[in-house]
Every structure is written in C-alpha cells, then in structure tokens.
C-alpha cells in the first residue's frame, strides 16, 4: 500500500531531491516479564540541497522504571521523565517532522517498533545507515554508529554541533546518523543516484565476510 505521507506517485526519485529525517529512541531497557518502552526521542533533518536543518528532542513519559543497565548506557534517570509527554501525544510533532521525508535510523528495527504507537502512520521509505555502512565498508570489524563516526572522522563535528549532549542521547544519535549518511553520499558520489541505492544497499560482501569469519 502506498504511504499517504510519501509522494509514491513519483516513480524515480534522486537522492539530491529528497529530504531525510533521522529518528532515534532511547529506551527504559528490557526486563523479564515486560515490554521495553521508549523514554526519549530525537529527530533531525538533512538534505543535500539545504544541509542540516530542524531538530527536536523530548523525554517521554514511561509506565516502567528505567533499568540499571539502560541508565548506564544513556544516563537517563526516572526523575528526568517527570512531566514528560507521552509518545502518543507527540503525534502532530512526529508526523510533521517525518511525514514526506525519507526516514533514517541506524539499525531501524527499534525505531520502527516504537513507531507502531501510531498505527498506519505511513512513514517511509526507510534508509538504514547500519546496512549502508556494511555495504560501503564490509571489512570494518565494528559498524556501531559511534565507531563508524570515529573511523570516518565525524565524531568531533557532531560533538561541536551538540556540545551539551553525547552518544546514546536520542538527538545526538539522530544527528550522527545523518552526518554519517551525508558522508556516505559524498564519499560514493550518490547524490545523483536513485534513492533506491540507499533504501536497498547490497550487503552481500559483508555477509560473505561473516560467513568466512
């Protein structure tokens, strides 16, 4: 089914003609007998024509305590969530920022799962920078977002843009995935290529390395 939020009537879309919106969630952490829930969301925008644009970040009300292991990763405390909105109440904000954009995430599974809060939202198509990085640099041992940005010399740029934030902050990671995407587009001269090159990257070389290892 065509997405109501993406102009699917356009049969051939180039990377340079797209607006990309990255989203990242931080969660309360998995615990026995309960479903993981988001506690922070960050969204950032980028296009080849206009560069980096609007940003949004918010803590989210949660019906579960943040686990010790999750807090150790992202540093978010239960008290930080006091008075925070629910994810469902942020529908107008999220729709405005993701609607009509190519949605970006690094390892999109978590983001797609938490966005099920909005049934039939229609966001997409999706670009997964984890898959793109595996296709681009299959020999790298670590394709985590922070490792990739460090290897590519991007980490200082991200930190300079968000000096009061760090890795595993939702906005920091959302921006990092866009900076990495920008780097990939420039490195492999993809701006005049069809968007499909980003949506469906060829990771066969990476898979071959995994099998051989």
Domain count, the chain: 1
CATH number of the domain encompassing residue 175:
3.30.420.10
Q: What is the number of other CB atoms lying within 10 angstroms of the CB of residue 21?
A: 27
Domain with 120 in it: 15-212
Instruction: Find where tokens 């740029």 sit.
Output: 157
The answer to whether position 10 is within a domain reads no
Secondary structure (3-state) at 20 = strand
Check: CB of residue 72 under 8 Å from CB of residue 60: no
pLDDT in tens, 78-132: 999 999 999 999 999 999 999 999 999 999 999 999 999 999 999 999 999 999 9
7 occurs within a structural domain? no
Contacts 24+ apart (CB under 8 A), 76-85: 76/26, 76/39, 76/40, 81/39, 84/58, 84/59, 84/60, 85/58, 85/60, 85/61
For 43-86, how does the pLDDT look when each residue is reduced to its tens digit (9 = 90+)? 999 999 999 999 999 999 998 899 999 999 999 999 999 999 99
């Amino acid at each position: 089914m065509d997405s109501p939020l993406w102009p699917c009537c356009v049969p051939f879309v180039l990377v340079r003609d797209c607006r990309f919106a990255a989203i990242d969630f931080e969660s309360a952490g998995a615990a026995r007998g309960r479903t993981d829930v988001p506690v922070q969301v960050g969204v950032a925008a980028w296009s080849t024509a206009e560069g980096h644009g609007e940003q949004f970040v918010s803590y989210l009300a949660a019906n579960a305590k943040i686990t010790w292991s999750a807090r150790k990763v992202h540093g978010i405390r239960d008290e930080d969530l006091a008075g925070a909105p629910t994810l469902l109440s942020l529908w107008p904000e999220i729709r405005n920022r993701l609607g009509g954009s190519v949605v970006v995430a690094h390892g999109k599974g978590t983001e797609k799962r938490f966005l099920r809060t909005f049934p039939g939202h229609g966001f997409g198509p999706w670009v997964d920078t984890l898959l793109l990085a595996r296709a681009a640099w299959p020999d790298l041992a670590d394709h985590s977002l922070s490792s990739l940005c460090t290897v590519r010399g991007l980490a200082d740029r991200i930190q300079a843009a968000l000096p009061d934030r760090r890795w595993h902050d939702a906005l920091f990671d959302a921006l990092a995935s866009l900076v990495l995407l920008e780097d990939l587009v420039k490195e492999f001269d993809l701006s005049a290529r069809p968007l499909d090159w980003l949506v469906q990257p060829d990771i066969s070389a990476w898979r071959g390395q995994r099998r051989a290892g």
